[in-house]
Amino acid sequence: MSTCDDVDECALSTDNCDPQYGTCTNTDGSFSCACQDGFVGDGISCSCDMSGTFAVLNELDVQWSEVTAGALTIVSAGATTTYSWAIRRQTQVGDQLEIETVPCGGTSPDLCGTFWVGFEAYGQFIPNESWEQVDDEGNPTIDPTPSTATLSSSVPGGSVMGDPEASLLGLEIDGGPFSSWPGAWDDPDLTWTNPDVDYFDAAETDMKRGITSVMRGSGTSDYCGTDYAYVPMPDGSGKRVREVHLGSRAIGNTDGSIVSCDEMVGEVTGEGPGGFAVFNGRIGGCETSDGDKCTQSEWESLDAQADTEQQVNDSRFTMFRVSDDITCDEVRNFNFQTGTAGPPGWPGPP
């Protein structure tokens, strides 16, 4: 009678399981391969499935030039870091990612007034309640931004190169989002939308173009070290602005890498100065600190300022896999240092 001694291919490393992300299990006369938790495949070849929902934090280091009125400097030049949040839903098909991105708001830089306007700070924000609104039929009032990306390989260390994507807020452009940027608020190629109509009283928003950004009229700016004040009207009338109705566009593409099956990091690049994303803005209306609607000449003076570009000096993004039902409020409170749900750590919500 003959007997056979089993050979442990796993112990001898004579198996053909994925050497990095596979596991080998010895069996009588053979072995079996499987992928480690978090990876997919037949065990011989394992990779991340990058389909799913991710919370996104974007960081931009920006600088801007001084703002003048005639021979006077009324706002100092400056530099700071701004933050924005988003929900990104991905479907992986081979080495391609099909993506939809839902904006969740962000911060804007504080501008510091000079001696001529009393050393005051100017800040603005889009209320958090403006995001993720739906119309009467349940459709989002701010459409998700579609895009695609290519994976060099879907394993940790693999690169993620996104195709250019254009995100519009508060307006549409005839010819598509990559068309020439409208030269004025009433450009015939520009169509204004009103995505936050449900947040602001409907009777008050019938004539409001775009999304409403509110000026900070109280509190103290940490950046400027002075109290906030409503923005002076650029036309020299002495009036102050408490809200503006704006539209914007951002064009860029993600250039990053896979840290793990649940995390990606990188930059947002583009054709702007320094190879970073391009940002444009238009203003189609405003309201004064007295609660009056601005005249056309008044909001046109603001629109002329809005067409100036800030310079981006650096950009970073971090994204973590999250539950499919995550909300914008939860994303703004997500801890991007630890990759876990709140408390937010740093940075927190605006």
3-state secondary structure string, 13-38?
CCCCCCCCCEEEEEECCEEEEEECCC
Pairing of strands 30-35, 124-125: unpaired
Provide mean pLDDT across the span 68-86: 85
Cβ-based neighbour number of residue 265 at 10 Å: 14
The Cα 74–Cα 314 span in angstroms is: 27
Provide mean pLDDT across the span 259-266: 96
Short-list 199, 191, 78, 74, CA closest to 134: 199
Q: Say what the pLDDT of residue 220 is.
A: 95
Number of H helices, E strands in the chain: 4, 23
The Cα 107–Cα 125 span in angstroms is: 7
Cβ-based neighbour number of residue 20 at 10 Å: 11
pLDDT digits (tens, 9 = 90+) for 290-335: 989 899 888 888 888 766 556 888 999 999 999 999 999 999 999 9
HSE toward the beta carbon, residue 336, CA cutoff 13 A: 24
105: left (phi over 0), alpha (psi -120 to 50) or beta: left
Cβ-based neighbour number of residue 310 at 10 Å: 17
Q: Say what the pLDDT of residue 230 is.
A: 93
Q: Measured between alpha carbons, how far apart are the two ends of the chain, in Å?
A: 79
Q: Say what the pLDDT of residue 349 is.
A: 46
What is the amino acid identity at position 13? Answer: S
Pairing of strands 96-106, 30-35: unpaired
The Cα 297–Cα 301 span in angstroms is: 6
pLDDT band for position 8 (cuts 50, 70, 90): confident
Provide mean pLDDT across the span 152-170: 93
Query: Token match 């002329």: residue?
Result: 304
Short-list 54, 103, 57, CA closest to 344: 57
The Cα 81–Cα 206 span in angstroms is: 34
Provide mean pLDDT across the span 111-115: 85
Provide mean pLDDT across the span 15-35: 92
What is the amino acid identity at position 341? Answer: A
Question: What is the set of domains in the chain, with CATH numbers?
Answer: 1-47 (2.10.25), 48-332 (no CATH)
Short-list 166, 168, 170, 167, CA closest to 212: 170
**8 Å CB contact between 294 and 237:** no
Q: Say what the pLDDT of residue 205 is.
A: 46
pLDDT digits (tens, 9 = 90+) for 177-215: 999 999 888 999 999 988 887 555 544 544 578 999 999
